[in-house]
Amino acid sequence: MNAPRQACIVGLGETAYVKRGQATEPEYRLAMQAILAAAADAGMPPTDIDGLATFADERSGQSNLAADLGIDELRFAATCAIPGGGGGCGAVAEATLAVETGMADTVVVYRSLCQGQFYRIGRGMAPRQPQTPASPLAESALENEALQAFSAPFGVLGPSIAFALRMRRHMEVFGTTGEHLAHVAVTERGYALSNPRAVMAGKPLTIADHQASRMVADPYRLFDCCLETDGACAVVVTTADRAAGLAQTPIEILAVAQGTHGGNLGGALMHARSTADDYATGGGRDVARRLYGKAGIGPGDIDVAQLYDNFTGQVLLGLEDFGFCGPGESGPFVAEGGLSPTGPLPTNTSGGNLSEAYMQGLNQVIEGVRQLRGQSSSQVGSPEVCLVTSSPAMPTSAIVMARP
């Protein structure tokens, strides 16, 4: 460890992951269970927690959780405002900043998500009925609805459509194919087969299965799309000093970064400032450059990766943005086994959002830690450095972790 306050991940917690609508307990209670499990994994009482961090659209609030967990003093509470799946690593970044600056000593990053109890993600993108403002000073439409005025008339009503447009551009420019996407889905399903936590455990998938599945939003077929799941997960971030006396080997957070260039601001639906060249990328190259610069490493130093995969094409964009492939080279890379256990970059080794569970990527942070601990259900040797990314093609975030 480089310094006494170096941020480390020392605890992991998860509830069971189930298909949307199958959770038997409320989302809030699942959040508490995941946090308690993460504290227990670290070998600490929940009263040692003095910070809670999450990311956009989380319904389980920090102050209520702190009270119900019996926390004596909540010194830090944060919600990364990056929307959707772009903020998972950003929430870990918030915890890292808090721990390393002394604002808190032990911060739990958590995500609870029960689409079956509330609504399906993306359903809210459909146009709503106009509402009369409560005051003449109020805005006439929510920000989200204002953005929809530029997209809904053209049929862009959900994430699958919005993200499919960018991948279709990638195909037109570079010749990427549906079979390239199939290799991402099949490789991740292969990892999930041996993962007892995965919703798709024991359910094999072939290239032929993928190619025969129904089209959702061209070029994305059913198996190009992430799962819809209920559950919760959490990680404990603390200082190197405190980590030394805990139950698990601490995993050092080498660097964090977040953001995007202007062409990606506005989210997946609104890329009015994107150039034609930018539109065939995930917009994360500047984030990658800053991340690697702070960590003092390059893509060649990454042993295992967890690349955000709400859709298969997002993995291709992540490979290119973070320097593992040149522009347009990611399709052939995955088709040649680049993401497999014996490939140059084993990726999404729990099954990811596509085949383990959709916790908007925080479960991929957990899998990265498991790989570095040597505890993964699909362990790939003894990796020393892991990259985790959040959603490309919108404001994003990423972290690099290392085994001490």
Pick from 293, 286, 368, 349: nearest CA to 321: 286
The three-state secondary structure class of 190 is: helix
Give the Cα-Cα-Cα angle 395, 397, 400 (nearest 5 degrees): 160
Q: Report the pLDDT averaged over residues 266-286.
A: 76
Burial (0-12, 13-18, 19+ Cβ within 10 Å), 55: buried
pLDDT value at position 265? 65
Structure tokens at 295: 């960590």
Could you report the per-residue pLDDT of 176-216, keeping only the tens digit for each?
999 999 999 999 999 999 999 999 999 999 999 999 999 99
List, for residues 308-321, the tens digit of each pLDDT value: 999 999 999 999 99
Q: What is the pLDDT of residue 361?
A: 96
The topology under which CATH files domain 7-118+226-402 is: Peroxisomal Thiolase; Chain A, domain 1 (3.40.47)
Give the residue numbers marked as catalytic: 308, 358
Q: What is the pTM of this model?
A: 0.93
**Per-residue pLDDT for 162 more than 90?**
no
- Mean of pLDDT values over 244-261: 94
**Pairing of the two strands 304-306 and 251-259:** unpaired
116-154 pLDDT, tens digit each: 898 776 654 444 444 444 444 444 445 566 666 777 777
Three-state SS at 35: helix
pLDDT recorded at residue 115: 86
Query: Domain residues of the chain, as ranges?
Result: 7-118+226-402
Per-residue confidence (pLDDT) for residue 273, from 0 to 100? 67
Q: Which residues pair with 114 in a beta bridge?
A: 230
CB atoms closer than 10 angstroms to residue 35: 30
Q: What is the pLDDT of residues 226-252, one digit of tens each?
A: 999 999 999 999 999 999 999 999 999
| DSSP class per residue in 289-323 | HHHHHHHT--GGG--EEE---SBHHHHHHHHHHTT
